[in-house]
Amino acid sequence: MPNFLDIHRTAPADLRTILESASEMKATRGTRPKGTPDDDLPLKGHVVALIFEKPSTRTRVSFDVGVRQMGGTSIVLSGAEMQLGHGETIADTARVLSRYVDLIMIRTFGEDILAEMAEHATVPVINGLTDTSHPCQIMADVMTFEEHRGPIRGKRVAWMGDGNNVAQSFLHAAASFGFHFTFSGPAQLDPDPALIGAARSAGCEVRIERDPEAAVRDADLVVTDTWVSMGDPESSRQRRHNLLRPFQVNERLMEAAPDHALVMHCLPAHRGEEITDAVLDGPRSVVFDEAENRLHAQKAIMRWCLGV
């Protein structure tokens, strides 16, 4: 029973199958109204639980709409309103939900919670973001890059700012999809060194470059994300802002990048903090294509998990 827990825990050939299926479904739907079902209704008769222990706009709506388009039914659950938020174990929640639904997507805190859910569920589990990874986002990002620029293999991705969950999933993806990765941020917020080592062992060039302009000089893609993620303590906000300010993605930084370099941000953006309006709304930005592709990529992930 395939779970979709992390990029590096899914075989590269399966990641490719998922992306091909996502592109095919996107092309087939074309511009038809968003509420109309797909012709083949692959999730007909299936129920999907979408559990959120953290806020969400994109993940919540794109999974829900994706299930509906494929003819299934979704139940959106907030962790705080479930018994999960009042002492019931993850393991028992997984066992019970598996008796009612065919698929579970969970957005949560520690990776251990996700692992416990997957261990005790008897239906597939999808990672909708943890403190340390966000694999669905990266599938949409690779899809978006390839729509605009062709195969990502051998290309250069420059990550600016915090070595957070999204950055770490990019590192996993570098190994799986064969692109190079430059991290540019303060040493205190480097990604997990084990992930850097794993990507290097897989043959990727991984650079740590403290000079933001040097980091983007050969980039095909410049990516950033919030300076304070949902799992980070509020008390760290000021320290993080002070550390991360030099790594803002702004027009001056983008002048140092090649003309063809794209800009991505998983959103929500904090305009004027990690990225300026001029870049986010500028011609290199593909952030809303990224957001749209969450829908198509996740539909393909759900089909792959369910084998339908």
Nearest residue to 165 (alpha-carbon basis) of 108, 116, 123, 84: 108
226 binds, among ligand NVA, ligand CP, none (CB under 5 to 8 A by kind): ligand NVA
User: Catalytic pick from 294, 296, 303, 305?
Assistant: 294
Of 196 and 269, which CB lies nearer to ligand CP in the complex structure? 269
User: Nearest distance from residue 136's CB to ligand CP, in Å?
Assistant: 7
User: Nearest distance from residue 143's CB to ligand NVA, in Å?
Assistant: 17
The reply to whether 204 belongs to the active site is no
Nearest residue to 4 (alpha-carbon basis) of 139, 166, 195: 139
Whole-angstrom Cα distance, residue 57 to residue 66?
Answer: 14
* Backbone φ and ψ of 233, nearest 5°: -65, 140
294 assigned binding-site residue: yes
Residue partners of 82: CB distance under 8 A and separation at least 6 = 51, 88, 93
Q: How far is CA 118 from the centre of its chain?
A: 19
The reply to whether 225 belongs to the active site is yes
The reply to whether 266 belongs to the active site is yes
Check binding of 126 to ligand NVA (CB under 6 A): no
Report the residue from 61, 202, 214, 230 that binds ligand NVA according to the rule CB under 6 A.
230
Nearest residue to 118 (alpha-carbon basis) of 10, 5, 6, 9: 5
Q: How many CB atoms lie within 10 A of CB 216?
A: 25
57 binds, among ligand NVA, ligand CP, none (CB under 5 to 8 A by kind): ligand CP
137 assigned binding-site residue: yes
Near ligand NVA by CB under 6 A, which window of 18-26, 151-159, 163-171, 270-278?
Answer: 163-171
The reply to whether 237 belongs to the active site is no
User: Catalytic pick from 69, 137, 168, 248?
Assistant: 137
Q: Between the CA of residue 208 and those of 121, 159, 173, 199, what are the distances in Å?
A: 39, 10, 17, 13
Instruction: Count interface residues toward ligand NVA (CB under 6 A).
Output: 9
Which single residue brings its beta carbon nearest to ligand NVA? 229
Report the residue from 3, 21, 56, 98 that binds ligand CP according to the rule CB under 6 A.
56
Report the residue from 23, 73, 78, 229 that binds ligand NVA according to the rule CB under 6 A.
229
Contact 169, 223 (CB under 8 A): no
Of 61 and 208, which CB lies nearer to ligand CP in the complex structure? 61
Identify residues 123-142 at the interface with ligand CP (CB under 6 A). Answer: 129, 137
Nearest residue to 239 (alpha-carbon basis) of 186, 296, 176: 186
| Helix, strand or coil, per DSSP, at residue 275 | strand
The reply to whether 107 belongs to the active site is yes
Q: Where are the beta strands (DSSP E) in 118-205?
A: 125-127, 156-160, 180-184
List active site positions: 107, 134, 137, 225, 266, 294
Give the interface with ligand NVA as residue ranges (CB under 6 A).
129, 164-166, 225-226, 229-230, 266
What are the residues binding ligand CP (CB under 6 A)? 56-59, 129, 137, 266-268
